[in-house]
Amino acid sequence: MLLHAAHAAANGHARIMIKTVDTDVVVLAIACFEQLGASELWIAFGAAKNLRYIAVHELVEILDTDRSKALPFFHAFTGCDTVSSFAGHGKKTAWEAWNSFPDVTDTFLQLSSGPTDVDFAMSLLQKFVVRMYDHSSSKMTVNSLRKHLFTKKGKPMEGLPPTEGALLQHTKRATYQSGFCWNRSLQAQQNLPSPGEWGWLADDDDCKWKPLWSDLPDVAKCLPELLKCSCKKGCGKRCKCLKANTRCTTLCACDGACHDDE
């Protein structure tokens, strides 16, 4: 759609309208608007009673150039057709985190532009994800926040942010979608890198690609049980850890402090 819009603009059409029901098209229209060369770009979004008209050129002016071009990575990173979302944390929460953490904008912009790797971005992305899950937290990494939410706030495993290893692969998939596939929307012939370098695994049996969720081993295989006690004033005979003949750890309510004097 964007390729045809660019062709129309190149042939003298100053006002262009695209009709779609796909949010991805709206995101790409905002990101590509300045490259199109049109004075106005409209999106007829939805159908029937839900049809509305979106003035892309006005949104670009509100967002500014950098945020507009950084939008594809933000959209992919927070969940799209090919990249998973963060359980319990949708676009609105992520948008609020972005507004409160503008330092990450340049990183989003670079990842939307076909980088050679994502390692340079992981520190800021971890801080961004921390803000998504706990806007008041001073934690700097997703692993430290996972530990805090699990041990101190009793969050279930499904309510925790991804591990650093999982976030790395997630970022690679979001970068592949935004920085390569979407970033070349105005190219008639796209020459894309192998998905195997960007968070995907080839499934030879099904001749398909499947996500590489993490390069870390499954916790269920390397640690059958995450044992923790709820003792707060020292561990006695009722302590689960003592009964299992193991030491308390930071997972426990006592934070492992019952062993400090040993």
Q: Quick check: pTM over 0.75?
A: yes
Mean model confidence pLDDT for the chain: 91
Among 77, 87, 254, CA closest to 169: 77
Q: How many CA atoms lie within 13 A of 99 on its CB side?
A: 7
pLDDT in tens, 207-224: 899 999 998 765 545 554
Q: Can you name the residues that pair with 53 across neighbouring β-strands?
A: 44
Q: What pLDDT does 207 receive?
A: 81
CA torsion 97→100→106→109, rounded to 10°?
40
Q: What pLDDT does 220 receive?
A: 43
Q: Decide which of 73 and 234 is more confident.
A: 73
- C-beta of residue 2 within 8 angstroms of C-beta of residue 29: yes
pLDDT in tens, 141-176: 999 999 999 998 888 888 899 999 999 999 999 999
C-alpha 169/C-alpha 125 separation (Å) is 12
State percent of the chain over pLDDT 90. 76
Among 184, 144, 182, 135, CA closest to 164: 144
239: pLDDT confidence band, cut at 50, 70 and 90? confident
Q: Where are the alpha helices (DSSP H) in 81-204?
A: 91-100, 105-111, 122-133, 142-151, 164-175
Q: What pLDDT does 224 receive?
A: 41
